[in-house]
Amino acid sequence: MTDTQKAKLMLVDDEVIITNQLEEFLTLMGYEIVAVASSGVEAIYMARLNRPDLVLMDVMMPGRDGHPGLDGITAARRIREEFNIPSIFITAYGGDQIISRAKDVEAFGFIVKPLQEQELRAAIEFALYRIRMERRLRESEEKYRFVVSTAAEAIITIDSKGNIAFCNPAVEKLFGYETEEIRGRPFSFIVPERLRLQFENEINRIVLTGESEIIGKTVESFGSRKDGTEFPMEYTLTTWEVREGIFFTIIARDITERKRIEQMKSDFVSLVSHQLKSPIAAVLGCIDNMLMGLTGDLNGRQVEYLEAMQEISERNYRIISDLLNVSRIERGILSVTIEHVQLFEVIEIAVQNHTRMAEDKGLEFVFDYPGDLITVHADRDKLIEALSNVVHNAVKFTEKGFIRIQAKKDKEYGIIEVEDSGRGIPEEALANLFQKEQIFQGAPSSQGGCGLGLYIAKQFVNLMDGDITVSSKLGEGSLFTFSVPLERSGN
Amino acid sequence: MDKIYDGTILIVEDENVFRMIYRGVLENAGFEVIEAENGRKGWEAIRTRKPDLVLLDLILPEMSGYEVLEKIRQDPETKEIPVIVFSVMGADENIQKALQLGANFFKIKGASSPSEILEQIDKILSRNQ
C-alpha cells in the first residue's frame, strides 16, 4: 500500500451477515476487501495468503464444532507477530478485560457494535495512517542502520554519564571488543589509561557547561584495544540533546597507516633537503672564501663570475629552505622561540642580504626609524626570514625608485612597513597573496624562486601572534605592514 | 676580519669540502686548525688535544654530533670547551636539541657566509677569558 493505492482490508467475523454487510459498505467507501474469514484459524491462514494491510477483527468468536478455537485477540496477536499486520478490534461490548487484553496486542483501533459509518471510517483511516508512518519510519531507520552498520569508522554513542549507549560493528575491528561487550561500559574504557581522566573531565565539562573546544572538530588521539595495545586514532565528537540529557556521538578511525606514511614523508623530506642543501652550502662556502680573497687575488671578471655563481646558488638554497618550511608548516611542527627583539636589528639583517641586488637595479633604500628603540616579542630568526622574504619581493618587483622601510609603534604592536615604488599587485591577486595556492595562478616568474616566500612569511609572523597585511596599487607600488606584539613591561 | 687570533680549533666534519672551507677561514684569522672526519675521531682529538673550541657537524659517521656533544659536556676535563654546532639541518628541533645538550652556538651551513663564524668565535672566546 502506497499513499495513493487502495488499502487492502481483511474482515474477520463469525457472523456472515456482518461480514457481508461490512464488505459492501467498505467497498463503497473505497477500500479493497482482499479476504473474509469467519474464525481465528482461518484468519491466520488468509492473512498469510492475501497479506492485507489491516485486519478488522471480531473479538468474540466461538470455536467451531465444539472446539474452543482461537479468539480474535489471540488471532490478531499471531497475525501481528508473524506478518506484521495490525488489527482493529470489533466487539459488541467493550468490557474492561477485553480492552486491556486488546491493548497487549497493540490494537490499532477499537470499535464497538453497532457499527456507525463515521466511526468505522475514522478508525480505519487512523489505523492506515499509523501503518504508513510506521513503514516510513522503519524504512528510514533501516537506511540509517545500514549506513551505520557498514561504516568503516567506529560510531559510538555515549550517554551523559559517559557510558556507551550504542556502537556499530566497526568497533569490533577497531578496538577488538564485541559490540555487546562494551555497551553500557564507560567510554574511557577504549582510550589508553593515561588519557582517561582527561577524557572524562572533558565529557563532564560538556555535560555541565555545554561547551568544549573539541565539539565538531577532528582530534588526533590514541585508542586502546581489548588486548591492551594502543593505536593512533582520529575522532570527531558531536553532541545532541534529548529528554534524557546530552548524548555524544564519537566517530573514530584508526590512523596508524596515515601516521606511518606521514612519518616516512617527513623523514624523506628531511633527508632529501639535507642531501640537496649540503652541496649548495659547500659551493656557497667555496665561492665566499674566494670572494674574501682567501685563495689569492681575483680580477674583476673572476669576481663577476663568482658573484653570478653565488646568486644562483643562494637562490637554490632558498628554494629548498622554502620547501622545507612549507612542509613543516603543513605538518604543524613549527615552533617559535619568543624573545625580546629589536626591530632595528631585524630590519638591518633582513635588508643587508638585499642591498647588492637593490644597488644593481639602482634602487634606493630609505629608512625611517623613530628615535627610541622598539622592542617586540618575537622569534628573532623567523621574523628576520619573514621580513627578508618581503624585502626580497619588493626589490625583485621594483624596477626603479625606492624601497622605504619604516619602523614605528601602534598601540600594542611594533610595526614595520615595507613600501616600494614597484609594479604593484593586481587587485584580484591581493586576496590570495599569502596563500600557497597563488603560485599556480600567477605567470611563472623568470626571476627565480617558487613564490612561497609570502606564504611562509605570513605563517611565521602569525605563529608569534603577529600579522602581515598588504595594500597595493597597480603601477604605483605596494605596502606591506608587519605587526608584532610589543614587549610589555613585566614579561 | 682583521683581528689575528691564536688558539687551536678542531673541526669535526665528514665532508672534505666543508673542512677545507672552514680551515681556510680559520687559518686566515690566525687559528691553528685540526680536523677529524668522524665523531669517534673527533671525540678522541677533543680528549687528547684539548682544543680551545670545537666546530662540530651533526650528521657524522661512527658517532653523531649530538653524541660527541654529550660526551664533551659530561667529561669534567672537556666540559668547558666551547662548541659551535654547524649543520645544514637548521630545523627548530635540531637547534633546540643542540643548545640543550650544551652547544654555545648553532650555525646553519649555507644560510650565511662561513667567515661570519669568526664573529661568534670571537664572542665566545672573549667571554671565556
Q: Residue ranges of the domains in chain A?
A: 8-147, 151-254, 258-330, 339-485
Amino acid A450: pLDDT: 61
Contact A285, B114 (CB under 8 A): yes
Q: What is the ipTM of this complex?
A: 0.87
Q: Which residue of B has its CA nearest to A385?
A: B111
Contacts of B96 in chain A (CB under 8 A): 335, 337
Q: What would the mean pLDDT of B52-57 be, rounded to a whole number?
A: 95
Whether A478 has a pLDDT exceeding 80, the answer reads yes
Helices (H), B1-129: 16-28, 39-49, 65-74, 92-100, 117-128
Whether A64 has a pLDDT exceeding 70, the answer reads no
For the stretch A427-448, pLDDT in tens is: 878 877 888 766 544 444 545 5
Q: Which fold has domain A8-147?
A: Rossmann fold (3.40.50)
Under the banding of pLDDT at 50, 70 and 90, the label for residue A203 is confident
Task: Kindly report the CATH class assigned to A151-254.
Answer: alpha beta
In degrees and rounded to multiples of 5, residue A476 shows phi and psi of: -115, -30
Whether A276 has a pLDDT exceeding 70, the answer reads yes
Amino acid B1: pLDDT: 47
- Give the C-alpha separation, A343 to B4, whole Å: 33
For the stretch B71-104, pLDDT in tens is: 999 999 999 999 999 998 877 778 889 999 999 9
Amino acid A68: pLDDT: 59
The residue to which cell 661512527 is assigned: B62
Which is nearest to A175 in space by CA: A153, A193, A159? A153
Contact B17 A274 (CB under 8 A): no
Q: Give the residue extent of every domain in chain B.
A: 8-128
CATH 1.10.1740.10 corresponds to the domain A339-485: no
Please, what is the angle between helix A453-463 and helix A300-330, to 10°? 50
Under the banding of pLDDT at 50, 70 and 90, the label for residue A490 is very low
* DSSP output for A125-165: HHHHHHHHHHHHHHHHHHHHHHHHHH-SSEEEEE-TTSBEE
Q: Which fold has domain B8-128?
A: Rossmann fold (3.40.50)
For the stretch A65-97, pLDDT in tens is: 555 567 888 889 899 999 989 999 888 766 667
For the stretch A387-433, pLDDT in tens is: 999 998 899 888 889 999 999 988 899 999 999 998 888 887 887 78
- Give the C-alpha separation, A268 to A138, whole Å: 52
Radius of gyration for the alpha carbons in chain B, expressed in angstroms and rounded: 13
Which of B24, B92, B111 lies closest to A294 in CB terms? B24
Contact B25 A294 (CB under 8 A): yes
Residue B64 contacts A where some CB pair is shorter than 8 Å? no
Q: Which residue of B has its CA nearest to A313?
A: B110
Amino acid A286: pLDDT: 95
Amino acid A114: pLDDT: 80
Q: Which residue of A has its CA nearest to B29?
A: A294
Please state, for a pLDDT cut of 90, what percent of chain A lies above it: 27
Radius of gyration for the alpha carbons in chain A, expressed in angstroms and rounded: 40
Whether A282 has a pLDDT exceeding 90, the answer reads yes
Q: What would the mean pLDDT of B33-50 be, rounded to a whole number?
A: 95
- A441 or B17: which carries more pLDDT confidence? B17
Amino acid A467: pLDDT: 93
Which is nearest to A244 in space by CA: A137, A161, A144? A161
For the stretch A330-361, pLDDT in tens is: 777 777 888 899 998 899 888 887 888 888 88
Contacts of B22 in chain A (CB under 8 A): 285
Amino acid A400: pLDDT: 87
Amino acid A196: pLDDT: 85
Hey, of B109, B116, B118, B119, which one would you mutate to test binding to chain A, going by the most A CBs within 10 A of its CB?
A: B109
Amino acid B11: pLDDT: 96
